[in-house]
Chains A and B, each alone.
Chain A
Amino acid sequence: MLPDPETIRSAARAAASELTGRSIKDSQKLVSSGLLDSLAVLKLISLLEKKLNIVIRPETLQPEDFDDVALIVETIERVGKARK
């Protein structure tokens, strides 16, 4: 089972902060503002997989699916799977 939305939210905040080197607010745009490029988004996905012990299959995703914390939560709820 996937972690609850609040756990995903705080993991997303922590992962985005780790990659950008600054504290990230929920409303902060990450990709469209240029804070994260496509490679950083791939790293973000790996970090989230580790932190939440889940698997994300990003083949059907686009970087802008990770544009802010709320979108990250929504994306993980849509395509994330708990690791067996």
Chain B
Amino acid sequence: MALNSLTYLGFLLVVVIAYWLLPVVLRRSLVMAASLAFYSSWNAIFLWVPLIVAGVVFVCGKYIQANPSAPRKWLLTGIGILLTLFVLFKYRLFVATNLGYFGVPLSRGPFSLASSLVFPMGISFYTLEAIAYLVDVRQVRVRIPSFVDLCLFFFFWPNILSGPIVRARELMPQLRFEKIFEPRFIFEGCDRIVWGLVQKNVIANMLGIWVDRGFASQPVGTFSTVDGWFLAIAFGLQVYFDFAGYTNLAIGTARLIGIMLPENFRHPYHAASPADFWSRWHITLSRWIRDYLFFPMNAKWKGAPLPLYLSLVGAMALVGLWHGAEWGFLLWGTMHGVYLAVYRLYESWRRGDSPAKGSHLSAGLWRVVTLVAVTTAWVPFRALSLAQAGSILGSMFSRFTWRLEYSGLFYGITVAVALFAAVEPLVMRALAEVDEEAAAAGLSMFRIIVRPVAYLFGLMLFLLFDQNYSQFIYSQF
């Protein structure tokens, strides 16, 4: 049941109506049942995986909680089990295939291609949540609740598939479902859902058709410079609107029942530097990496330069691999690690000043460099092979040819979506201001007429563009 399907919208309508009609004591059971039904609709055979994850957190968390100052045995055991499960599902074929290059025959039997293609949906996301949960228990930030409550946390359907990656301390207190109904929950939820559907089905899917054709159609070595750049830009826009669309659907779904999930995007292509990009792109993953990997590692060395630069590249390479067992993802993450290390070197050369504090020229230059660097890194992320990635990057930076291989529509759509991404913050700010004024004036014309008309228009667009091409890019991770 994809979030951008009519089946899901029907499911959501029934659950939300039932939720607000039920007394508080029964809401928890309804949300649990809805979450299990939703996850089962994807792959019921893997229902046991989040259950095992919850079990590991429950058992190890209880031991850690009983004696938080004891050695880290239970923390390490818990993290070890969680990572083993994660690696077994996501990386077994990658490991086996690459060991195969060295003559180790592991790519048969349990390492077959078919078994590697199926894995529990959302495992990359709830594994990170589980590790964070254990660390937070160890740091006495949260307590282990009942097993049922823990299951509810991991199975909570709005964010189980692809995040946002939530921390126990921000979601657990809300899972008491005690809020009294307010119309704004419905308005805010519908705003996010309708916009998410348009982002995914209209913008991302439209670009996706061209991007898929572009990456699939040309043999290695034949991309022109213009096509290379347009494909990289189009994919950068596609992946943004696809993932931001998914996130809006997840946040909007939770909002309909009064739950707040953290934001995941803040206009990432407006970033002023590589570091700023990671405070705007997949924010909840960046936050996880910062809190549970990067900060503890560097705290040990008090931010000394060599460990700092090595940990930046290492942590980002892991972020790349987290997306999947592909060399392209690893290269994408490593490139971002190098960007961050170069930026930090520049900052230390300027004695800690960010480029924004420098001249307009240097600030502007960093914006352009960041955009170009981020766009370049999308090539290995999307390419079908490292050879294809190398070929496209070669056409973009060294083998200059100016042929146009695709229909004019592709170039036109890419430019139009890029222009929209450029003005998106202004549009969003203007809409928020109108909404605030409407809220201050009570039930004004905006709420009574404009909003429902906008919803209708958005849903019509969603239905018009409701093609078979509906899988979210990040649901594969």
Bitwise, B315-356 to A at CB < 8 A (1) or not (0) is 000000000000000000000000000001000000010000
Question: CA of A79 to CA of B298 in the docked complex: distance in angstroms?
Answer: 17
CA A59 to CA B344, docked complex, whole Å: 22
Q: Does B279 contact A (CB under 8 A)?
A: yes
Q: Which of B291, B296, B303 contacts A59 (CB 8 A)?
A: B296
In the bound complex, CA of A24 to CA of B294 (Å):
26
Q: Are B303 and A61 in contact (CB under 8 A)?
A: no
Interface residues of A in 53-80 (CB under 8 A from B): 58-64
Interface residues of A in 36-63 (CB under 8 A from B): 37-43, 45-46, 58-63
A63 touches B344 (CB 8 A): no
Across the A-B interface, the 6 shortest Cβ-Cβ residue pairs: A58-B299, A42-B303, A62-B291, A38-B290, A38-B295, A60-B139
Q: Name the A residues within 8 Å of B279 (CB-CB).
A: 34, 37
Does A39 contact B308, Cβ atoms closer than 8 Å?
A: yes
A interface, over-half SS: helix
Q: Are A43 and B303 also in contact (CB < 8 A) when A37-B275, A59-B296, A60-B139 are? A: yes
A59 to B297: give the CA distance in the assembly, Å.
Answer: 8
B360 within 8 A of A: no
* 18 A-B pairs (CB sep. < 8 Å): A37-B275, A37-B279, A38-B295, A38-B298, A39-B308, A39-B344, A40-B352, A41-B295, A42-B299, A42-B302, A46-B303, A58-B295, A59-B300, A60-B138, A61-B299, A62-B139, A62-B295, A63-B291
- Contacts of B274-309 to chain A: CB distance below 8 A: 275, 279, 290-291, 294-296, 298-300, 302-303, 308
Nearest B-chain residue to A19, judged by Cβ:
B352
- Interface size of A by Cβ–Cβ distance < 8 Å? 19
A21 CB contacts on chain B under 8 angstroms: 357
B63-84 residues with Cβ-Cβ distance < 8 A to A are none
The smallest beta-carbon distance between B453 and chain A, in angstroms, is 36
Give Cα A17 to B279, complex, Å: 22
Taking a contact as CB atoms under 8 Å apart, the answer to whether A42 and B298 are in contact is yes
Q: Which residues of A contact B357 (CB under 8 A)?
A: 21
